[in-house]
Amino acid sequence: MRALVTGGAGFIGSNLVDALVERGDEVTVVDNLSTGRRENLDGALARGARLVEADIREGDALRTVFADARPEVVFHLAAQIDVRKSVADPAFDSGINVGGTINVLAAAHAAGVPRVVNTSSGGAIYGEGQGIPAPESHPVAPEAPYGLSKFCAEQYCEIYERMHGLATASLRYGNVYGPRQDPLGEAGVIAIFCGKLLDGGRPTVFGDGLQTRDYVYVGDVVSANLAAAASEATGPFNIGTGVESTVLDIVTALATNADGAFDPDFQPERLGEVRHIALDTTRAQQELAWQARVGLDDGMRITLESLR
């Protein structure tokens, strides 16, 4: 199969690219390398994947890439993912997450692509969990512009389906973690804490640390993308574990690997953050035949080892 992956040099995208190459797909990666890393693709490029440096905000360039690659499926992972950045500069966030998604959909339609698997966000779209685990029918009430931009992107996927017959599925991830996540980045508390542990530092905890998230391992997210690509089902799908874990749970679990103390450094709570969320994945189980397989303890162990 010919596959195109936007944001394919990033954390999740490069793991997906590896899986596609492994099964023999012809893979084109589109990434502007602003946050993605070429070295994440070293193995895939050596096995025939192709990297095109392009920005999803450049519609004309994107249409040229799509026309050349002639993909049978597009996995759209390129995005602005920093919640803090979205609060400080919502126009910048929207330009990438909404405008960029429109460009991807337009290029896919022009190239005759039959299916697009879009990357979205569970907790950021739902906001504060009114019922946990939250189903796809949970009210949309984002706490930050990031969640709003991802929901708008979903809506553009659906209108392209209604207007042009472009089949789309939007995967609403929980908090994804695993190998290749940046331990120095703004997103990904597990990778950040692993980095602190290995450097002999202290984990920074914003607020009281009792806020909960649904942590899902990157390998499970990759398998969800492959399942969505193989399915004819459309619309939003929660991709998580359905289990709430607190930030302090993560600290406690990692502390068992520390040579010395691994005590939290508590800082004030941050604007725009959801307090409690976990995702109901019943629809993904029933319609995509998918469910998470990797437990949090095993996933954190793998993540820590990948950073050593």
Among residues 126, 146, 156, 177, the one annotated as catalytic is 146
Using alpha carbons, select from 187, 234, 172 the residue that is nearest to residue 86. 187
Tell me whether residue 126 is one of the annotated catalytic residues. no
Strands (E), the chain: 2-6, 26-30, 50-52, 73-76, 115-121, 167-173, 175-177, 204-206, 212-213, 215-217, 235-239, 245-246, 265-267
Helix, strand, or coil (residue 119)? strand
Cβ distance 248 to 210 under 8 Å?
Answer: yes
Burial class for 165, CB neighbours closer than 10 Å (0-12, 13-18, 19+):
exposed
User: How far is it, in rounded angstroms, from Cα 195 to Cα 44?
Assistant: 25
How many residues does this entry show for the chain?
308
**Computed from CA positions of residues 247, 248, 251, 253, in that sequence, does the dihedral angle turn out positive or negative?**
negative
Tokens of 37: 């890393």
Question: What burial letters (b/e) apply to 43-64, b meaning 16+ CB within 10 Å?
Answer: ebbeeebbbbebbbeebebbbe
Question: Cα 251–215–97 angle (5° rounding)?
Answer: 120
| Catalytically annotated residues | 146
